[in-house]
Structure 1
């Protein structure tokens, strides 16, 4: 049974600009093997009209966080604690009826795989129109006309004809555009995009990213963009949150984090990325080891078993003490600011050239 409580010590939203404020979010799943700590004390803000990028390896808690914002976690096996405040409305304690009024209306989600997210039994137009009818009370004809309008906005050719097609009659890129149309049909204030371009080729991916930016300018929506691709984030986001083992390990503006990263995990992500026009003779530097078990996460800093720089920290701080993530531009690491800067300049920057 889901437990919905406010965590002790959860901080208040930082200011009036935060449209979505998440504080000390903890999401745990009960399994036969034990309790999975999928999200473990996560806090962040999203401002109106801005895009927050969330990056991290598979299993870092990115998708679970945003499914929880929408209230789509499994109510029979999950425990949720903390604060989620959307435009002044507390969501952790909201009823299912209250969440149904918000989903697709005030907040919407673009799922990673449109082929599985869209039903094969209904036309694309009917599926796009459904949330518009539900939230506005529009007639079926009015909703279909609105669906045609949205298909036009997302660049589907011959929208008056294609509105009556089924998902299997659309290409992968067109299905993703249809998902965007469905998400935006009620002009949501917050759009969550969960790796929306992962299965698309590079050309279509660029078109979808440009489309999202154009529609954000038109509708003024805040966006949470989830991905493992830092190249995509550099194109899309204003602010960046780096997640590892269900926690935020670094945050700041995209420019700050990508130009001067401060956490060893972020260094590892950047060092393992291929670069167009880069030195092709240099081998990529993968992060050693495996992501930690969320059933039994390591003590102290969750990244310390894989960190090449833990020996720079005196004593046993890395293995015994959990580093905290301060407000604003910050990284949760026991290295001093001077050590981080020295390591980045001497050892990390040469790898990125």
Structure 2
């Protein structure tokens, strides 16, 4: 069974204006090979009407975190500790019946692959209408009217006709728009977007991002935007959380983190991206090595086996002691503030242009 326990640490106070507060979240999965420590001591806030971007490589814990918020993990194989508070309601202690009332209503999710998230057996209109009727008690006629209204808002042409189409009759971009319409049917206060533009071409991707920003302004929803693409996040987010191997390693406003990153992992992410105005013939600098196994994660800083600055810290601190992530603008790294500044100015900034 899923084990829900309070942590020994006193949770940090909810930030001003925070609609969602996550404190010391730990998520572990039982597998045949052992215990997977997918999320390990994660804390963050999301404010009303704001977008929090979460970035990191595959396996960093981004999607696991947000599936935990929605209560979608298997109860047989998952252990969850910590606190998740949504608008005053503690979610980890909520019953499945309470979570069913929240999902699709107060909290909604846009999944990465709409073709697998949408059922091929039912029309798009039915898949939009039925959850709306369940949560609001609306009639079939009222639900159809709302669905057509939302399909119109997300830019689906001929929504009255498309209402009766099946997902396979939609293009990739239209399916993603339909997923957004479904997520917004009940005016959710929190919208979780899990890499919603990964499979789309650049033009459609830009249209979807602009659509999400416009709809956020209209509905005032808080958004958690999950991606591995810092270019996308710079366009979408107000605040940014960088995750690595189940832990948060850096956070701040999106401008602060992208313009003046403080963690070696963030430096690596930015250095491995092409930049406008850069030399097209200049080789990108990938992060060496691979993410660690979360069955047996490294002690100390989990990034230290791939980090090129452990010698600057000196001794065995990086491999033995976990660096903490302070509140506000911060990076979980044993480098001193002066060392970070010197390395960034001398080595990292020239790469970024």
**TM-score between the two structures when normalised by the length of structure 1:** 0.99
- Which residue in 1 is equivalent to 2:23? 23
- Which residue in 2 is equivalent to 1:257? 257
**Secondary structure of residue in 2 paired with 1:53:** strand
Cα pair 1:107 1:190 within 8 Å, conserved: yes
- Which residue in 1 is equivalent to 2:115? 115
**Secondary structure of residue in 2 paired with 1:22:** strand
- Which residue in 2 is equivalent to 1:70? 70
Alpha-carbon distance in 2 for matches of 1:242, 1:108: 22
**Equivalence map 1:120-159=2 (5 Å):** 120-159=120-159
Cα pair 2:55 2:228 within 8 Å, conserved: yes
The CA deviation string for residues 299-353 of structure 1, in whole angstroms up to 9 with x for no partner, is 0000000000110012110000000000000000000000000000000011112
- Which residue in 2 is equivalent to 1:270? 270
**Secondary structure of residue in 2 paired with 1:347:** helix
Cα pair 1:5 1:93 within 8 Å, conserved: no
When the two chains are superposed, the root-mean-square deviation of aligned CA atoms in Å is 0.7
- Which residue in 2 is equivalent to 1:188? 188
**Equivalence map 1:1-353=2 (5 Å):** 1-353=1-353
TM-fit CA distance, 1:276: 3.1
Alpha-carbon distance in 2 for matches of 1:117, 1:207: 21
**Secondary structure of residue in 1 paired with 2:251:** strand
TM-fit CA distance, 1:11: 1.2
The CA deviation string for residues 71-93 of structure 1, in whole angstroms up to 9 with x for no partner, is 00111100000000000000011
Quick one: structure 1 residues 10 and 163, their matched pair in 2 at CA, closer, same or farther if it must change by over 3 Å?
farther
Alpha-carbon distance in 2 for matches of 1:177, 1:106: 20
TM-fit CA distance, 1:16: 4.1
**Secondary structure of residue in 2 paired with 1:81:** strand
Alignment: residue pair count: 353
Which shifted more, 171-180 or 9-18?
9-18
Cα pair 1:10 1:23 within 8 Å, conserved: no
Alpha-carbon distance in 2 for matches of 1:322, 1:173: 42
Alpha-carbon distance in 2 for matches of 1:68, 1:108: 13
Quick one: structure 1 residues 336 and 321, their matched pair in 2 at CA, closer, same or farther if it must change by over 3 Å?
same
The CA deviation string for residues 5-61 of structure 1, in whole angstroms up to 9 with x for no partner, is 121214143334110000000000000000000000000000000000000000000
TM-fit CA distance, 1:4: 1.1
Alpha-carbon distance in 2 for matches of 1:247, 1:222: 22
**Secondary structure of residue in 2 paired with 1:146:** helix
Alpha-carbon distance in 1 for matches of 2:245, 2:302: 7
Cα pair 1:106 1:190 within 8 Å, conserved: yes
**Secondary structure of residue in 2 paired with 1:155:** coil
Alpha-carbon distance in 1 for matches of 2:291, 2:164: 45
**Secondary structure of residue in 2 paired with 1:291:** coil
**Secondary structure of residue in 2 paired with 1:205:** helix
Structure 1 outlier segments of 4+, above 2 Å: 12-16
Unmatched tracts of structure 2, length 5 or more: none
The CA deviation string for residues 172-224 of structure 1, in whole angstroms up to 9 with x for no partner, is 00000000000000000000000000000000000000000000000000000
Alpha-carbon distance in 1 for matches of 2:330, 2:157: 45
**Secondary structure of residue in 1 paired with 2:4:** strand
TM-fit CA distance, 1:109: 0.2
Cα pair 2:15 2:45 within 8 Å, conserved: no
